[in-house]
Chain A
Amino acid sequence: MNVELRPNRAQKTRYGIVDCDIHPKMLIEEYRKHLSNQWWSYLQTYGIRPRHGFTKSYPMPKITPQAARRDAWPPGGGQPGSDLGFMQEQLLDLYDMDYGILNPLQPTGQGDQNPEFSAALAFAANEQQLERWTSQDKRLKASVVVPYENPDASKAEIKRRAGSKDFAQVFMLSRAAEAHGRRRYWPIYEAAVEAGLPVGIHVFGYSGWAMTNSGWPSFYIEEMTEHATGQQAVVASMIFEGLFEQYRDLKVVLIESGFGWLPALGWRLDKHWERMRDDVPHVKRPPSEYIREHFWVSTQPMEEAEDPEHVMDAMKWIGFDRILFASDYPHWDFDDPVLALPPSLTEEQRRMIYGDNAKKLYGLS
Chain B
Amino acid sequence: MGRHVVAAVADIPPGRRKLVDVNGRAVVVFNLGGEFFALNNRCPHKGGSLCDGVTSGLIQSSEPGQYQYTRKGEIIRCPWHSWEFDIRTGQSWCDPGKVKTRRYQVSVEQGAKLVKGPYKAETFPVSVENDYVVVDA
Given contacts A71-B49, A339-B47, contact A332 B21 (CB under 8 A): no
**CB of B116 closer than 8 Å to a CB of A:** no
Whole-angstrom distance between the Cβ of A127 and the nearest chain B Cβ = 32
Query: Contact string, B58-81, partner A, CB cutoff 8 A, digits 1/0?
Result: 000000000000000000010111
**CB of B82 closer than 8 Å to a CB of A:** yes
Q: Are B16 and A70 in contact (CB under 8 A)?
A: no
Q: Report the contact-size class of chain B (Cβ under 8 Å from the partner).
A: 20 to 34
Partner of B51, one of A1, A63, A333: A1
**CB of B134 closer than 8 Å to a CB of A:** no
List chain A residues, Cβ under 8 A from B11: 2
List chain A residues, Cβ under 8 A from B3: none
Q: Give the nearest-CB partner of B11 in chain A.
A: A2
Given contacts A1-B52, A3-B52, A69-B79, contact A336 B47 (CB under 8 A): yes
CB interface residues, A 22-73, toward B, < 8 Å: 63-64, 69-72
Partner of B82, one of A63, A336, A339, A340: A63
Q: Give the nearest-CB partner of B77 in chain A.
A: A70
Interface of chain A: mostly helix, strand, loop or mixed? loop
Interface of chain B: mostly helix, strand, loop or mixed? mixed
Partner of B80, one of A2, A7, A334, A338: A334
Q: Are B26 and A5 in contact (CB under 8 A)?
A: yes
List chain A residues, Cβ under 8 A from B128: none
Q: Are A3 and B79 in contact (CB under 8 A)?
A: no
List chain B residues, Cβ under 8 A from A70: 52-54, 77, 79-80
Whole-angstrom distance between the Cβ of B134 and the nearest chain A Cβ = 18
Provide the bound-state CA to CA distance between A298 and B54, in Å. Answer: 30
Provide the bound-state CA to CA distance between A340 and B80, in Å. Answer: 13
**CB of B19 closer than 8 Å to a CB of A:** yes
**CB of B102 closer than 8 Å to a CB of A:** no
User: Could you list some 30 contacts between A and B, CB below 8 A?
Assistant: A1-B17, A1-B18, A1-B19, A3-B19, A3-B51, A3-B52, A4-B19, A4-B20, A4-B21, A5-B19, A5-B26, A7-B26, A63-B82, A64-B82, A69-B48, A69-B79, A69-B80, A70-B52, A70-B54, A70-B77, A70-B79, A71-B49, A71-B53, A71-B79, A71-B80, A333-B80, A335-B46, A336-B46, A336-B48, A338-B47
Interface residues of A (CB under 8 A from B): 1-5, 7, 63-64, 69-72, 332-336, 338-340
Please name 19 further chain A to chain B contacts, defined as beta carbons within 8 Å, in addition to the given A1-B18, A4-B19, A69-B80, sorted by A numbering.
Answer: A1-B52, A3-B51, A3-B52, A5-B26, A7-B26, A7-B42, A69-B48, A69-B79, A70-B52, A70-B80, A71-B48, A71-B80, A72-B79, A332-B81, A334-B80, A335-B46, A339-B46, A339-B47, A340-B46
